[in-house]
Every structure is written in C-alpha cells, then in structure tokens.
C-alpha cells in the first residue's frame, strides 16, 4: 500500500512539474543532466568481504572436521549432529555462506549499502573468532 501511494504521489508530482514546464517559454528551460552512478557495481571492499566469508567458512569446516577426528566436540548445538556426516556439514557451511552473501547483496541492491557492509563485517568478525578458536584447539592437540 505504501509503495502504491508513493508511486502515485511521484507520478502526480512529476506530471504537474511537466505541465508547468510546458507553459514556460523554451528559452527559459534549462536541462541539467546528472550521470547516474552504476548501481550494480560493488566496491572492492564488499567483494573482499564476500571472498573472506567464503575463506573463513571453508577454514571453519576444515578445522571443525579435523578437530572431530581428534575427538574434540563441536560446540555449536545446531551443527553438532552434522559433523558426523562431513558432506552434510560442508553443504550446510556452504549454504550459510551463500545465504549471508545473498542477504548482503540484496541489501546493497536496495540501497542499504551501509547495512550490507556491516552485515558482512560482523559475520566475518564472528567467523574469524570461531576460526581462531579452532586453530588454537588444533595447535593444542599437536
């Protein structure tokens, strides 16, 4: 409903502006062309955050499965049952990565660019903590 009202308001305000402009003499009309920024382009930082997310999730999958082989337990209760089936666990980690990136990309496309970057930064920060903990656990076993 809000979108319909906003669209209707935009159309009506544009039509009245065009009608007033048509009444002005041609020599008084000024056209200003403003180039649009490429809305589809992602900054290098966001693309880097996407790549880092994939790397961190892949390392988490590797280190978790290596830890399970060393008789360590998965602390995440949602994933603890999946580590017994490595293919399922890896698929779940991949799905989480894709879901996070897709959500951030949807935010970017809907002009919530700060939120997209914040989502990826927070997600990667959490995964970096998990990866560091896994690395520490693996080092302690050697």
Coarse DSSP helix, strand, coil percentages of the chain, rounded to the nearest 5 percent? 75, 0, 25
What pTM value is reported for the model? 0.69
From residue 10, alpha-carbon distances to 13, 20, 37, 112 in Å are: 5, 16, 21, 21
Asked if 123 contacts 99 with a C-beta cutoff of 8 angstroms, the reply is no
Question: Could you read off the pLDDT of 104-126 as tens digits, one per residue?
Answer: 999 999 999 999 999 999 999 99
Q: Provide the pLDDT for residue 25.
A: 55
Domain spans of the chain, in order of start: 43-141
Q: What is the mean pLDDT of the chain?
A: 81
């Amino acid at each position: 409903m809000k979108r319909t009202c906003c669209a209707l308001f935009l159309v009506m305000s544009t039509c009245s502006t065009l009608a007033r402009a048509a009444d002005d003499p041609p020599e008084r009309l000024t056209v200003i062309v403003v180039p649009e920024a490429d809305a589809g382009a992602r900054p290098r930082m966001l693309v880097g955050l996407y790549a880092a997310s994939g790397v961190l999730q892949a390392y988490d999958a590797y280190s978790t499965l290596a830890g399970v082989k060393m008789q360590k337990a998965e602390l995440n209760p949602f994933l603890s049952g999946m580590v017994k089936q490595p293919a399922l666990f890896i698929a779940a980690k991949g799905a989480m990565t894709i879901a996070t990136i897709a959500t951030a990309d949807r935010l970017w496309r809907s002009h919530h660019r700060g939120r997209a970057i914040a989502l990826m930064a927070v997600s990667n920060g959490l995964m970096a903590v998990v990866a560091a903990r896994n690395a520490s656990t693996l080092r302690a076993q050697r």
